[in-house]
Structure 1
Amino acid sequence: MKIAILNLTLPFPGTSAFAETGRQIRDWIAPALPGSEFTILDIAQGLQLPVPDAYDGFIISGSEAGVYDQVAWMEPLKAFLLAARDAAKPLVGICFGHQIMAHTFGGHAEKAAAGIAVGARRFTLDGVETYANVWHQDQVVLVPPCARVSGFADYCPVGMLDYEFPAFSMQFHPEYSRAFLTREIGVILGKGIDPDLAERALESMARADVPADLMANRAAGTFRQFA
């Protein structure tokens, strides 16, 4: 099976923070899909989007951009998602990927009044309570008519979506570990995150046990069933 990871993240300016997003996603999903081939496509750095038939399925990463931003790849990405849906290619969205999928398929995402969330938060996913790591402000605020909510948190009513076609998405970052978030917070402290928010994020992660394979088998099942 050939899975493409569409990396839509750029490193934080002047640092190496978030420079390995594609690799982290690969390392999260690969143990659940033994024998599969993963290709990281750095779309945010100018690589052209593939045609849907080039791969068996796609993972859409997070991004520092929002669905409303005028970046060069935004409109092509929306067109790609529609084409991938029409080709019945399985799609898995993470954070921004969750937002852009909802936005493209008839919902709406925007900056949330809840503000920026960083660290570990409690979610209910498929009816089971667990912790997940997050870093976002934007949220899906209108569910697409072709999707249903399958996960949520107290601050995030649309935390996970399942679609009528082969796709699901999540607002949280299953590929982010406590060690990774702790390191990135330190790198951009005072530049990309204020000290008070950083302290709360670190405290939340110290109290939570986030599964390393969170949603990996769920994502793998989507690919195995439909690819």
Structure 2
Amino acid sequence: MKLCILENDYLDPAIEPTYKGYGTMFERLLRDAGATGEFDIFNTFKGEYPESFDAYDAVLLTGSRADSFSQEPWVLVLREKVEQLLQSGKKLVGVCFGHQLIALCLGARVGRAPQGWGAGRMAYQWLEPDMPQAEGRTDVALLASHQDQVFDLPEGARLLATSEFCPVAAFAVDDRVFCVQPHPEFVEAYSAFILDKRRDTLGEAQYLSCTDSLAKGHDGDAVARMMVAFIEGQSAAQTADA
């Protein structure tokens, strides 16, 4: 596997020595899920991109504190790059901001969720139990941190995960696009750090509920295995025989 990770944010200096960056968090996650090969990380906020995407098997877009529909120059440049990647048929994986940006480029509506922040451990219905490495699951729990959402399923996409709070929680387009709103790369300690920063914004009741939810664990490793299978082009039959 040769993966290009477009890192769309930077970490708080207080936590950066521990987690390094979102790109590093994804590399750890995917390697723990069995991925081997080369991972190249480019920070789009700093204007970093590969000279060419041709050599990569897939491109992964991380989360960001920015809005996918922002008019910030760096976001507009990234959006143009994603549109070009979609046109070329390059495999794309999107998480949170990345999920929203890819959906936006596919013509879906994206905006501020009227129901407010999704945070802490959140549960979703998983709609494709036969997807490679899904292992028959019909639900998934992941750590979330978002105030924007994808409002429509992009044309030609199929819905992978949904909940009452977040109807378009994950989607795929053929074997080319795999997007997830919550964060499989988050660990509980990092999610707790983010919750502490947003305590006043969330309000005490939601903050305490979200913090308590972290003790229930999450399925980031399971979703990571699905991502690896998607990037490697595994079929359901291959994973069943493994």
Pairing of 1:30-179 with structure 2 (within 5 A)? 30-48=31-49, 50-125=51-126, 126-127=128-129, 128-179=138-189
For residues 230 and 20 of structure 2, the distance between their equivalents in structure 1, rounded to whole angstroms, comes to 27
For residues 177 and 204 of structure 1, the distance between their equivalents in structure 2, rounded to whole angstroms, comes to 13
- Long gaps (5+) in structure 1: none
For residues 122 and 28 of structure 2, the distance between their equivalents in structure 1, rounded to whole angstroms, comes to 22
Q: Relative to structure 1, is the Cα distance of residues 57 and 119 closer, same or farther in structure 2, using a 3 angstrom cutoff? A: same
For residues 53 and 201 of structure 2, the distance between their equivalents in structure 1, rounded to whole angstroms, comes to 35
Moved more, 117-126 or 192-201: 192-201
- Long gaps (5+) in structure 2: 130-137, 235-242
Partner letter of residue 205 of structure 1?
L
What's the CA shift for 1:121? 0.8
Q: TM-score if structure 1 supplies the norm length?
A: 0.88
Q: Tell me if structure 1 keeps the 8 A contact 2:10–2:21.
A: no
What stretches of structure 1 move > 6 A for 4+ residues in a row?
A: none
Q: Tell me if structure 1 keeps the 8 A contact 2:69–2:101.
A: no
Q: Tell me if structure 2 keeps the 8 A contact 1:107–1:140.
A: yes
Q: Relative to structure 1, is the Cα distance of residues 65 and 103 closer, same or farther in structure 2, using a 3 angstrom cutoff? A: same
Q: TM-score if structure 2 supplies the norm length?
A: 0.83
Q: Tell me if structure 2 keeps the 8 A contact 1:94–1:170.
A: yes
What's the CA shift for 1:19? 5.7
Q: CA RMSD in A?
A: 2.2
Q: Which residue of 1 aligns with 2:238?
A: none
Q: Tell me if structure 2 keeps the 8 A contact 1:9–1:19.
A: no
Q: Secondary structure at the match of 2:125?
A: strand
Q: Share of identical aligned residues, percent?
A: 25
Pick the structure with more strand per residue: 1
What's the CA shift for 1:83? 1.9
Q: Deviations over 1:154-192 (max 9, x none)?
A: 201100111135111000100111122123333x25576
Partner letter of residue 156 of structure 2?
C
Q: Relative to structure 1, is the Cα distance of residues 117 and 110 closer, same or farther in structure 2, using a 3 angstrom cutoff? A: same
1:204 to 193, 198, 213: 213
Confirm whether residue 185 of structure 1 aligns to residue 186 of structure 2. Answer: no
